[in-house]
Amino acid sequence: MKTMTCRQLGGPCDLQHRGETADDVINAQDQHLKEAEKAGDATHQEARDAMKSRWRHPKKSLGWYNDAKKAFAALPES
């Protein structure tokens, strides 16, 4: 199990996401940003817009995804 924060994934806060894989924490971040947007949290809006763009254009956003996976792989188990 590893931990990444919202900030490490491009967001504005230090909420921790835990997962077995990079995809686990990326999906947790996506859910966190959806909930923040729904709650009207303007501080997360830029990160939410960027995440929406990545889901719509995955080939174009492959660099971000690969960087997130590398950062996750480099983390120690927690």
Domain boundaries, the chain: 2-74
Q: What is the pLDDT of residues 12-64, one digit of tens each?
A: 999 999 999 999 999 999 999 999 999 999 999 999 999 888 888 878 789 99
Cβ atoms within 10 Å of 45's Cβ, excluding its own = 14
Residue 44, judged by CB atoms within 10 A of its CB (0-12, 13-18, 19+), counts as: buried
The model carries a pTM of: 0.89
